[in-house]
Amino acid sequence: MSLTVALLLLTQLWGLGTDKLPVQLPATSEAVLGGTALLSCTYPPEADLILYWTRLGPASERNVYTYYRGEHLASHADPAYRGRATVPAGQPGRGDGALRLHNVTLADEGRYRCRVKSNRGMGVAETELRLIGLYRLSWLQPQPCAPSLQNVTLTCLAEGGYPLATVTIRDSTGRDYGAGTPAAKEPQGLYSAAHSAAVPCSPTASYTCIVTTTFLQQNRTGTLAWEEPQPAWKGWAGVGIGIGIGMAVVVLGSGALWAGQQRRKGQRHQGSRPPREPEPAWEEAPLEGTGPTCTRRGDPPDILQEPPPPSQHLCPTPSPGPSHA
């Protein structure tokens, strides 16, 4: 069916029937960013009908989805919704004309109109599509609790959500530590907010970050971070190291002192020792039937020295005596 013929039939059907057809839509519809929006539209079952979904703008309507007597006129949809808008197959004639809009973005937020036309009459209803972007919640505690601290600063961060939220910090007893709405709008249209409060350092208390928007409430609960106590053995280890170093110094000093004393004693001992007698000179002691040997002056005559090798002359060769001719 050509678009021209479809539009002509659509115009003719709009002119038929004057009775009001009851069409029901919720006042608002919510969807999560990036998900699928479901816009409900119910009416009395009718086999021969036209279902027409449009997006209302400041000055005009944009076609989102057209169902004509059992056929989807895809070419009639606005390019921004083409391929993203569907209705349940076979259900429009049974009174269910719910629109499913896939992969929704902030640009899809706004008012939508469901128009139903049959031989019995025509009905129109509108709904407001509101989008929700879940916030990423986290805690920020720059300084851990310690026994010497009474309070610390605790910050709840809510990032990348939609719409604008109020951030509250609440402890486990139900006490609120103020609420804040300062936020920064990101280029994509999302918001980031934070709230800080001075809370007491209690080891048993827990704190909840509450992020509230028009449609929902997100919570994140946590406990304070504490400074890790230093184990006792670490302190004793430091003392032991100090004692060990001190003992090593004492031992080294004592050793050096003892060595000095020993050197001085040795020097005194050498000074009182009598002078050493010079070594006696070697003299020749010829014996009958033997070669010359060497003895020391003062040695007993019966102690002989082993003759040296022939190649070595340890004793001077005796000069021949005068000849007696």
The answer to whether 111 and 129 are in contact (CB under 8 A) is yes
- pLDDT class for 35, splitting at 50, 70, 90? very high
Name the pLDDT band for 302 (thresholds 50, 70, 90): very low
Q: Is residue 308 part of a domain?
A: no
Compute the radius of gyration of the chain from its Cα atoms.
56
Q: 97 and 13 in one domain?
A: yes
Span between the terminal Cα atoms of the chain, in Å: 170
User: Do the strands 28-32 and 121-132 form a parallel or antiparallel pair, or are they unpaired?
Assistant: parallel
Q: Are 113 and 195 in contact (CB under 8 A)?
A: no
Buried b (16+ CB within 10 A) or exposed e, 171-180: beeeeebeeb
Given a contact cutoff of 8 angstroms between Cβ atoms, the answer to whether 3 and 75 are in contact is yes
User: E strand or H helix at 169, and its extent?
Assistant: strand 166-171
35 and 86 together in one domain: yes
Do residues 145 and 118 share a domain?
A: no
The model's confidence at residue 305, banded by pLDDT at 50, 70 and 90, is very low
Chain mean position to CA 28: 40
Say what the pTM is: 0.61
Count structural domains, the chain: 2
Encoded amino acid at 2, one letter? S
State whether 14 and 119 are in the same domain. Answer: yes
Quick one: what percent of the chain has pLDDT higher than 70?
Answer: 64
Look up the domain containing 188 and give its range: 136-223
CB 92 within 8 A of CB 67: yes
Q: Domain boundary residue among 131, 152, 175?
A: 131
Contact of 174 with 155, CB cutoff 8 Å: no
Q: What is the pLDDT of residue 261?
A: 66
The average pLDDT across 29-54 equals 94
Same domain, 115 and 219: no
Rounded to whole angstroms, the Cα distance separating 221 from 104 reads 30
CATH number of the domain that residue 185 is part of: 2.60.40.10
- What size, in residues, is the chain? 325
pLDDT at 317: 46
